[in-house]
Amino acid sequence: MSLRVADIGEKELVKYIIANSKEITADDTAVTQFSSTNLISTCDMLIQSRHFPENMSYFNMGFKAVTVNVSDLAAMGAEPLGFLLAIAIPKDLELESFKEIIDGVLSACDYYSIPLIGGDTNEASEIIISGTALGLCDEPLMMDNYSIGDVVAVTGDIGLAALGFELEDFNNIYVKKALKPLARINEGITLKNSGATSATDITDGLASELYQIKKNSFGFMIYEELLNISDEYKQYCKNLGLNYLDLVFHVGEDFELLFTIPKDKLKNLDIDYRVIGEVTDSDVVELTLENGFVEKIKNKGYEHYVSE
């Protein structure tokens, strides 16, 4: 009985690729030295049945395909350079729907000031969009150059999209975040210029990203009271029979930046942000709950393939 990819999970597959390539940077994007700067490049593929909720418009599908890639540029503090779009669509898709997807892509490119410079069209049984974002950065913000004592912060409230995926009613910030997340490209550039020590974008969940950036001998202490989880949020979760901390930590799709920065650099940091914790020497990833108890944050996030 031979092993299937579902038996080992996406992270192990990625490890196989990295172990066999000499030149892969294990960070949010590739970094390629280029004249006096660096070419920053990344690609991400979105698959209709897996990434686009039922109630997502064609326009927002196109918009998101750009967002997920620009978000990786943001995590490096890169200036956008160009975007390439490879899109496959079913042949019976309505022409108007195709145009709406493209309009979404172009709208996002305009929003992020990243010109659409090329691409490819194809036919498949469902909508598949693979985007490549290119950027430039003299000193890219890697994901793990923090020191003990640095604060841990985020560029916006976490967990909103996760709740949005559970709700039906359109008219609330949670569903809006779920259907049209935004990449923090300007914030990333400002962080890079303001002495931030590391950054990554939150896609698979805050817990998953904390473990992704964790180094040996380092740990993180996050404080629930700093996460700004509203009473409304907790009530929605209670009504749905869901654990609100689970949604905040273990689902993702936030696209906010998780970053570290020395305390003394905070006063000159000119973006919206929220400090949620600090870098420690505990070698564990922990949460101090509102009631004062401390628990280990589980390394659980969204992962493809893993069998239930």
Residue 53 binds a copy of itself (CB under 8 A): no
Rounded to whole angstroms, the Cα distance separating 72 from 204 reads 13
Residue 305 binds a copy of itself (CB under 8 A): yes
Residue 138 binds a copy of itself (CB under 8 A): no
Residue 106 binds a copy of itself (CB under 8 A): yes
Residue 102 binds a copy of itself (CB under 8 A): yes
The pair of structure tokens assigned to 108 is 């996002």
Residue 67 binds a copy of itself (CB under 8 A): no
Residue 118 binds a copy of itself (CB under 8 A): yes
Does an H or E element contain 50, and which? helix 48-51
Residue 217 binds a copy of itself (CB under 8 A): no
Residue 93 binds a copy of itself (CB under 8 A): yes
Which of 47, 173, 242, 266 binds a copy of itself (CB under 8 A)? It is 47
**Distance separating the N- and C-terminal Cα atoms of the chain:** 19
| Residue 69 CA from chain centroid, whole number | 9
Closest residue by Cα to residue 265 from 196, 200, 169: 196
Closest residue by Cα to residue 131 from 162, 106, 100: 106
Q: Whose Cβ is closer to a copy of itself: residue 49's or residue 171's?
A: 49
Three-class secondary structure of residue 55 per DSSP: coil
Residue 144 binds a copy of itself (CB under 8 A): no
Q: Whose Cβ is closer to a copy of itself: residue 16's or residue 170's?
A: 16
Residue 29 binds a copy of itself (CB under 8 A): yes
Instruction: Find the shortest distance in angstroms from Cβ 50 to a copy of itself.
Output: 6
Contact predicate 213/200, CB 8 Å:
yes
Residue 45 binds a copy of itself (CB under 8 A): yes
DSSP symbols for 121-182: EEE-SS-EEEEEEEEE-SS---S----TT-EEEESS-SSHHHHHTT---SSSHHHHHHHS--
Q: Whose Cβ is closer to a copy of itself: residue 30's or residue 226's?
A: 30
Residue 302 binds a copy of itself (CB under 8 A): no
Residue 89 binds a copy of itself (CB under 8 A): yes
Instruction: Find the shortest distance in angstroms from Cβ 78 to a copy of itself.
Output: 13
